[in-house]
Structure 1
Amino acid sequence: MTGPILFVKAYVPPHLRGGHQVKGYHRRDRPGHSQPAKAVHHPELDHHGEPVKIHQPSTPTPLAAFGDPKAVATVVPGGEVPAQLHGVLFEPWADHPTTAEGWDYVDGVNDDLDEPPIHAPKGKVVASGVVIEEPDGRIWLVAPTNGFGGYRASFPKGNAEPELSLQANAIKEAFEETGLKVEITGFVGDFERTTSVARLYLAKRVGGTPARMGWESQAVHLAPKDKLYGLLNMATDHGPAEAIGAGPKPPPPPKPPAQPYPKNHESGMLF
């Protein structure tokens, strides 16, 4: 007589499946049984002071992933991070600016950077953001809360605020979305997106902690360049990834075949 069937939770780490990044999840050993993630509230309130529910929380990776330059490391709000990485401590940026004037004079703006003018076509706005690179070549990405806008992951960025320079705006957006304090080190390019033209700067992390990401993010990833396309599901992010050395961007998905118009059997006309 066989013994009782035991159902033991097993953790499946984030991995690539068919060229797409699959986030980590828990499952039961018996096929067909899974352990869905329970909704949680983000530790940070939104702009209106209201709680934000994360319907499908991301799964953090083990801390050892931070020390592996070939691995994707994932942090969730309030999650664990190592004490430091590449000699820079992970600790909250306690004295960050809180006013537009403060952000406009924030440390990290590169006054020596030679930037071209930026132009946005009619109907689109100007935005700015950063590509934050670690000494081991890995890049910081954000996972928008509840997949906002259809994004699984993206570079930290946001629409330009009229009171701020584009560099100051990019530093502010990086902090709000990743919890990190950054310094601008270079210019990546201007990239047309669905509703904006985004200027992206190259930046380095000099402080902060991803565990203190704002409510707009439900996870922050640190990813090798050769794994960026598996995380960045929107084609609008593929141009920046290619520009920073992620390799040739993947071809666009094939368009579905055109469907013939239904035919009016009485008149023979198409409508």
Structure 2
Amino acid sequence: MNEPTTHQKVALITGANKGIGRAVAQQLAALGMRVLIGARDLRRGEEAAAEVCAAGGYAHAVTLDVTDPTTIREAAREIEERFGHLDVLVNNAGITGSGQVSPEDAVDQIPSTVDLDMVRSVFETNVFGVIAVTNAMLPLLRKSPAPRIVNVSSAAASLTITSDPDGPAAGLPTSAAYMPSKTALNALTVQYAQELRKDGFLINAADPGYVDTDINNHRGYLTPAQGAEVVVRLATLATDGPTAWFFDADGPVPW
């Protein structure tokens, strides 16, 4: 682990041992931030951190399961003791509920036949986990002169896009789990942004696009590095940047 020699911003990314989260960690580290790799499996987190360090950045793995209050509390305590503050929180950890399948194969999420336990598990990670981690990290973020929170969402969260019978989502199976969980995440993003606007927080949702990751059985056409770009842009917004918005690589996405 490369120890920093000057004061640098500190960023925590959940689910950062692979995929988009790992790419976000790499890019933020390349910009000079101290990057904290949040991962359920510490060994995998350490492997990702070692890769960042080998490239000349600073990274440290933190055990963090967004559905486990104990690991969340311990992560916040460790960050407080080791760094004293947090500048960026990227809520990246998420699940589909259908395992590693492409969106067109996720027929187990059709509302009229969906398993409620699956819906609960998806919301536990994609929505309640975000609340739990964000609230635990807020005291650390309040110590930053420019706190930023980015919630990794999806175009599937957009009611405008998914309700269009001729739109890009028209050919996908309907969903009672993943898509609604990301819509809820967007709504949550707005509510946090409205509450914390007065305190200098900039809080936005990011659609990374259809990225080649485990979550879609590697059917995506974008690389994790490409998907990470919009997340990194929102994590490094200037003071006059937007808050309570939803963006992809091309600009604002309709709610």
- Structure with greater strand share of residues: 1
Q: TM-score, normalised by structure 1?
A: 0.26
Q: TM-score, normalised by structure 2?
A: 0.27
Larger radius of gyration: 1
